[in-house]
Structure 1
Amino acid sequence: MNYRKIFNHDFRNTAINQLWRLLSGPALLILVPLYLSSEAQGYWYTFISMAALAVFADMGFSAVLLLFASHEFAHLKFNNQKELCGAPEHISRLATLLSFAMRWASGMALVVFPAVLLIGYFILNGKTSQINWQLPWLVYGVASVIVFINSIALSFIEGCDSVGDIQKIRFHVSVISVCVTVILLISGADLYALAFSLLAGALAGTSIILHRYKAMLGQLYKLTQLNSHPWFKEIMPLLWRFALSWVSGYFVLSIFTPLSFSYHGAVQAGQVGFSMAICMAMFSIANIWITIITPKINMYAAHRNTTALDQAFRKGVALAIATYAAGMVALFTGLWLMEGHPLIENRLLPTLPLLMVSIGWLMQLIINAMAIYMRAYKKEPLVVVSVLNGLYVAITTLLAAKYLPFEYLFSGFTSAYVLVLPWVYWIFRSFKRRSS
């Protein structure tokens, strides 16, 4: 086995970033219950879940942007100064694509984020509490706007076969955010730790992007003064499909903490948020193997190199599943060894719902990989699946939160994936036969 080829530049930087998250994530997960009350922990994770409403600003645009940038960059490369070299028409198209992306992102941010702040305010204000959450929520919302703009720029650059470089930037931003969080938590800043750490990371991310890619950004900016392209017409037929999938994804993954907060209280919301954070961390680490090959898969699809695409995909999926399974074993072994410890007492979901959540995320990992494969061809065949799945999870979770004991909150989540995974696999197999 060629280990040097497997553990390449993209993998190393992605692994470093995710390993940092693997270390820093549990550290924060420990610090949060140490320095926050159970009620404040509920507000903490509700902030994070409410901010996920930013999906209505993105609506899949970042994924579409990465896809289109990959198809253009398939004909280009970077020189030593990080300027683009290759066919002038593709450089020109990339320039106009970036310009369109930044205008789109700015417009969506101005529309969506004020609405997110207001919705969050009314939900958070629905509970009587002594927690000072109003100003932290405002700062958190403003920082989320900057994070969103940064994410669009990073998706564009990542599409230019720069997974490793982008993961390095994400690593630096994460280090800054985590350090600020730790310092402020220990200082007793409570929810301000979450808000100001996000703001610090967002501003750092903007600075790093402008510094490291100033040559390319300057090159593309000059070209936008001379060229134009009707990207709206080209992107919209695909974007609306991505948007439905992305919005449905919010209901599948992000409604549990706000519903727990509304129907069961801040303590239960903290348990849900804490448990989801652990499963999302396992997902992110396992998904390294898919993340590092995504631009390559897009480029193979652009060149119709099915053999290379399938080979990379099969290897990535196998490694991702194995990594997640190892994470599940480690999680439940650790909980068994720490049973009764005050650090985790009443901080995590009970064993059965936690198992349901972790299995659901494993199935999400597999579905996500198949979706990325099909989207590489600038197709989105999972619109109906995503919408029905989102509606099913939203309705069943709302009913469970309102009428069933807390332990059954995730029954709709897990049962949805049991139904959807075979359906997606059938669509995937049919898609492959048509594409080959």
Structure 2
Amino acid sequence: MKIFNDKNLINTALNQLYRLISGPMMLLFIPLFLTQEEQGYWYTFTSLAALAIFADLGFSTIILQFAAHEFAFLKFKDNGEIEGDYIHLRKLADFFRFSVKWLIIIVSIVFPLIILYGFYFIGLREDIDITWKIPWLIYAFSSAIVFIYSSLLYFFEGCNSVAKVEFIRFKVSVITSIILLLGLFFKIKLYALALSLLISFLYGLYMLYKNFNIAMKQLWDISRVQYYSWKKEIFNLIWKYALSWCSGYFIFQIFVPLSFNYYDATFAGKIGLSNSIWTAIMSISNIFIVSKMPYINMLVSKKLWIELDRILKNIFLKLVGTYILGMISFFLLYYILYNKLFIFQRLLDLYSMLILSICWFLQLIVSFMATYLRAHKKEPLMYISIFCAVYVSISTFFIVNNFPSDYLFLGFLTSFIFVLPTVMYIFYLQRKEDYKIR
């Protein structure tokens, strides 16, 4: 079968499947070794660290896309160097230097603010005896370094190295989960989360250097004399991505901090645990498009529309089928094991879990269309992202102040009444334009 010859898909699946296995282990160990209040702090850490989206601003996607558009005319030699069309090699080198400089500047500005905000926000509810300050400092600092090396992995993923990059991510995930489980087992509480990220970023940096140091040195040397300036092209796009990605925080990450503030740490922990299940199922479903993302960008760059159509249809059927299978499997387990396995009692009620499952299914479809649209070096979803962020934020804030917690995700769910038809229409217009080019 063809799937077994596709290293990109195999390694992406390996990475995501490991997360699917390690995820339930975490879901079991976290309630086993942490109190409900500590679980709330744990997921609040991760939600606050997700403010790194304000450092990313969509640049990780831009790195992958722009690298793929140039690398469509290049290839790796056996010794790790890059060869091919000279013009595209020079442009790729200049883009690499631009990316490194951009990442250093953004990290030095945004992450100190995230660290300080974390101390302020968590400190507002310092009403129980939980040691969180040093773990938060370690965790937030480590997140900054993870952001840098992860972004550079996106660059090389765009250089048609999906298989290699996904295998690196797999090994980093293994190291992270081992340290995390050991930390929980030896009862170091929130330090387990902090130290696992600290050790994983050290290992991730090592793997990045080991696999791509020759190419990085080559690109950096070539870029010493600038051939192409990316500033205008990037800046014309990144502000649109920035608004979309910032909107994403308020759409997807707002629930845990609001629950932590308006309800309690216990309920915030349930939100984090429940949301992590559906994002895991979505990630597994997404392997089919993640593994093909650089290839999709290359096909757009070369305007090979017939091959692109074939790829997209195949991907859509697989990702939708995988999510539905995961959804059915979860609810069967929930029904059968709710009174037998205590972890299910750390989750939200069945009604809330059903709403969450539908929300993430609809988001999966939106993400599929967004991948195709952004492969054209465009961001046509900026305004719909802003609208959705405002709508979800206001509706959720209204709900936590006036309704029981059962209704928390209704704003998220009803946002798709506007979002899904609009994105589908934009998708249709782009497809129509591509057909005219043929």
Q: TM-score, normalised by structure 2?
A: 0.97
Structure 2 counterpart of 1:105 = 103
The 10-residue stretch of structure 1 (64-73 or 400-409) with the greater mean CA deviation from structure 2: 400-409
Matching residue of 2:181: 182
Select which of 61, 64, 67 maps to 1:66. 64
Distance 1:333 1:26 in 2: 16
Q: Are 1:94 and 2:92 an aligned pair?
A: yes
Total equivalences in the alignment: 434
CA distance in 2, matches of 1:162, 1:245: 27
Matches within 5 A, 1:275-424: 275-341=274-340, 343-344=342-343, 346-424=345-423
Q: Deviations over 1:165-210 (max 9, x none)?
A: 1100000100100000000100001000001101111111011001
> 1:194: which partner in 2?
193
Asked if the contact 1:95/1:221 (under 8 Å) is kept, the reply is yes
8 Å CA contact 1:102, 1:152 repeated in 2: no
Correspondence for 1:121: 119
Match of 1:76 in 2: 74
Deviations 1:24-70 (A, max 9, x none): 11001100000000000000001001100000000001101111100
How big is each residue's C-alpha offset from its partner over 1:365-422, in whole Å with a ceiling of 9 and x where there is no partner? 1101101101111111111111101111111111112221011110101111233111
How big is the shift at 1:262? 0.2
Secondary structure of 1:365's partner? helix
Deviation at 1:5, TM superposition (A): 4.9
Q: CA deviation at 1:103?
A: 0.6
SS of the residue corresponding to residue 376 of structure 2 reads coil
Quick one: percent identity of the two aligned structures? Answer: 41
Partner Cα separation in structure 1 for residue 205 and residue 46 of structure 2: 21
What amino acid is aligned across from residue 9 of structure 2 in structure 1?
A: F
Q: Which deviates more from structure 2 when the two are superposed, residues 278-287 or residues 420-429? A: 420-429
Whether 2:267 is the aligned partner of 1:265: answer no
* Runs of 4+ deviating beyond 4 Å: none
Distance 1:306 1:5 in 2: 22
Gaps of 5+ in 1: none
Distance of aligned partners of 1:397 and 1:6 in 2 relative to their CA distance in 1, 3 Å threshold: farther
Q: Secondary structure at the match of 1:344?
A: helix
Q: Which of 34, 37, 40 pairs up with 2:32?
A: 34
Counterpart residue identity of residue 62, structure 2? V
In the alignment, which residue of structure 2 is the partner of 1:56?
A: 54
Please report how far the alpha carbon of residue 7 of structure 1 lies from its aligned counterpart in structure 2 after TM superposition: 5.2
The one-character-per-residue Cα deviations of 1:123-175 (angstroms, maximum 9, x if unpaired) are: 11111121100000000011001110011101100000111111000001001
2:322 alignment partner AA: T
In the alignment, the residues of structure 1 paired with residue 194 and residue 81 of structure 2 have an alpha-carbon distance, to the nearest angstrom, of: 36
The equivalent position to 1:24 in structure 2, one of 22, 40, 52, is: 22
Verify the 8 A CA contact 1:49 1:254 in the aligned structure 2.
yes
Distance 1:346 1:124 in 2: 25
Of stretches 344-353 and 267-276 in structure 1, the one that deviates more from structure 2 is 344-353
Task: Quote the Cα distance in structure 2 between the aligned partners of 1:332 and 1:113.
Answer: 39
Secondary structure in 2 matching 1:314:
helix
Other structure's SS at 2:343 match: coil
Pairing of 1:130-209 with structure 2 (within 5 A): 130-209=129-208
Comparing 307-316 and 224-233, the one that deviates more: 224-233
In structure 2, how many angstroms separate the alpha carbons of the residues matched to 1:407 and 1:84? Answer: 54
Q: Distance in 1 between matches of 2:341 and 2:316?
A: 37
Aligned to 2:224: 225
Q: Please give the alpha-carbon distance, in whole angstroms, between the structure 2 residues aligned to 1:369 and 1:6.
A: 23
**What stretches of structure 2 of length at least 5 have no aligned partner?**
none
Partner of residue 234, structure 2: 235
Cα distance, 1:425 vs. partner?
Answer: 0.6
TM-aligned CA deviation for residue 252 of structure 1: 0.7
2: CA distance, partners of 1:45 / 1:71: 37
Greater Cα shift, 92-101 or 53-62: 92-101
Does the CA contact (< 8 Å) of 2:338 and 2:345 recur in 1?
no
2:337 and 2:344 in contact (8 A); partners too: no
Deviation at 1:227, TM superposition (A): 2.8
